[in-house]
A = this chain, B = another copy of it.
Amino acid sequence: MPEVSTNGRGSVSEIFQLLRDGSPHTRAELAKHTGLARSTVAARVDLLMRMGLIAPVADGASTGGRPPSRFALNPAAKIVVAADLGASHATIVLTDLGGTILTEYSEPLPIAAGPDRILAWVVDGARRLLGELGRFEADIAAIGIGLPGPVEFPTGRPVNPPIMPGWNNVNVRGWLREHLDVPVLVDNDVNISALGERTVAWPDVDHLMFIKVATGIGCGIVSDGRLQRGARGSAGDIGHVRVSRGSDVACACGNTGCLEALASGSAIARDLRAQGYDAADASDVVDLVRQGDLTAIQAVRQAGRDIGEVLATSVSLLNPSVIAIGGSMSRAGEHLIAGVREVVYARSMPLATERLAIAQSAAGAQAPIIGASMLAVEHALSPEGVADAFVVA
């Protein structure tokens, strides 16, 4: 095969994609896996080291003055900013390229305060946290943002978000880039929670569903290792699927019998109030369950069955390996999950369930912020992200 010249951007990325998982490789291994010439590999490794994206790894044994032989991703090379902007609370963190949280700030902040106030909070927070770490804006590789509503991912714009007045169609990415000129990724909080859950508990699983059960109900879907957003970003929006119990229960959406109107934390609290309990919201329901109140436990288990009805269909449709149940209602413990399991295992085909795990979220309240950082890290380490850095370097 003739050896010919190339500007080699493709080969830099190819080498980096092998090193990004953190396990060290030698130049010979990199040449073998990429099919690139040894001389090309040597030049690319030097370039990635000068960029700081990879670093030599100690071999244990002394190299006796020889140049380092093994390399891996250098997680400290860049910083990622992640923000989880919830209905009533906001969190911002800085992580390294390995997704490790370096510093964190959180405060009560209603999303209804509007985009100008909230996004300014993100910019100010990022700068303050950078200062704490002694790092600079030039160190930021990307920003990941989670919002509590539907987002058109390619443009980063919220689409008719019900609990976010003033945010519809706002150019979140453009707003932030006027202040911090780095790539910005925006997604809804349930999607990024699926990424966060996968990172924390199921890194080798390519087919996972994350169900958030709180004031509302929604899910994030990872299939073939990729987040599924659907044609308009509304994939996973299962809160308004009709369930067989209570077809006459009115939902805020205008329909009747929706999953959310029966099995969300608010719905359970409403039903308990009708039975004379003092339960304002999901949090009160969880408290009653933890106190061992039988009526509350039965209500939560029935909610699990309703959710299980929708998930049984989801299992037939998507054949996931893992269903993780998160959101504030998941703190009610095994009762919710027991109801889900009861119906899913009764209603799905053996091939789809024989290796299916249905488990409580391991990432818990951290799921969205870890997911937002992974969204940014994934971009920074992608061929596209490395090419961006390459142009800058």
Name A's B-contacting residues (CB within 8 A).
1-11, 14, 34-37, 39-40, 43, 150, 159-160, 206-207, 219, 221, 223-224, 226, 228-238, 240-242, 244, 253, 255, 309-310, 312-314, 316-321, 347-349, 351-352, 355
**Contact between A3 and B3, CB atoms less than 8 A apart:** no
Q: Per a CB cutoff under 8 Å, which of B5, B231, B232, B236 touches A39?
A: B5
Q: Which 5 A-B pairs have the closest CB atoms?
A: A230-B319, A3-B5, A207-B231, A231-B321, A235-B319
**Contact between A319 and B229, CB atoms less than 8 A apart:** yes
**Complexed CA–CA distance, A351 and B230 (Å):** 11
**Complexed CA–CA distance, A160 and B355 (Å):** 15
Given A35-B10, A349-B253, A351-B159: A320 in contact with B5 (beta carbons within 8 A):
no
**Contact between B36 and A232, CB atoms less than 8 A apart:** no
A1 CB, min distance to chain B CBs, angstroms = 5
Q: Per a CB cutoff under 8 Å, which of B6, B43, B234, B244 touches A352?
A: B234
A17 CB, min distance to chain B CBs, angstroms = 11
- Told that A5-B6, A224-B226, A231-B321 touch, could you supply 8 new A-B pairs with CB distance under 8 A? A4-B5, A4-B43, A5-B39, A159-B351, A160-B351, A207-B231, A231-B355, A238-B316
**Contact between B237 and A230, CB atoms less than 8 A apart:** no
CB-CB under 8 A from A221, the residues of chain B are: 317-318
A323 CB, min distance to chain B CBs, angstroms = 11
CB-CB under 8 A from A349, the residues of chain B are: 234, 237, 240, 253
A342 CB, min distance to chain B CBs, angstroms = 14
**Contact between A207 and B230, CB atoms less than 8 A apart:** yes
- With CB as the reference atom, state the residue of chain B lying closest to A253: B349
CB-CB under 8 A from A229, the residues of chain B are: 224, 319
CB-CB under 8 A from A232, the residues of chain B are: 319, 351-352, 355
**Contact between A230 and B320, CB atoms less than 8 A apart:** yes
- With CB as the reference atom, state the residue of chain B lying closest to A230: B319
Given A6-B36, A230-B223, A317-B318: A244 in contact with B244 (beta carbons within 8 A):
yes
A278 CB, min distance to chain B CBs, angstroms = 33
**Contact between B4 and A6, CB atoms less than 8 A apart:** yes
**Contact between A35 and B11, CB atoms less than 8 A apart:** no
Given A223-B228, A242-B312, A355-B232: A4 in contact with B10 (beta carbons within 8 A):
no
CB-CB under 8 A from A5, the residues of chain B are: 3-6, 37, 39-40
A313 CB, min distance to chain B CBs, angstroms = 5
**Contact between A9 and B37, CB atoms less than 8 A apart:** no
- With CB as the reference atom, state the residue of chain B lying closest to A218: B316
**Contact between B238 and A313, CB atoms less than 8 A apart:** yes
Given A150-B351, A223-B223: A317 in contact with B314 (beta carbons within 8 A):
yes
A46 CB, min distance to chain B CBs, angstroms = 10
**Contact between B347 and A255, CB atoms less than 8 A apart:** yes
A64 CB, min distance to chain B CBs, angstroms = 29
**Contact between A230 and B318, CB atoms less than 8 A apart:** yes
**Contact between B7 and A6, CB atoms less than 8 A apart:** no
CB-CB under 8 A from A228, the residues of chain B are: 223-224, 228, 318
CB-CB under 8 A from A317, the residues of chain B are: 219, 221, 235-238, 241, 313-314, 317-318
- From A160, A228, A229, A253, residue with most partner B Cβ within 10 Å: A228
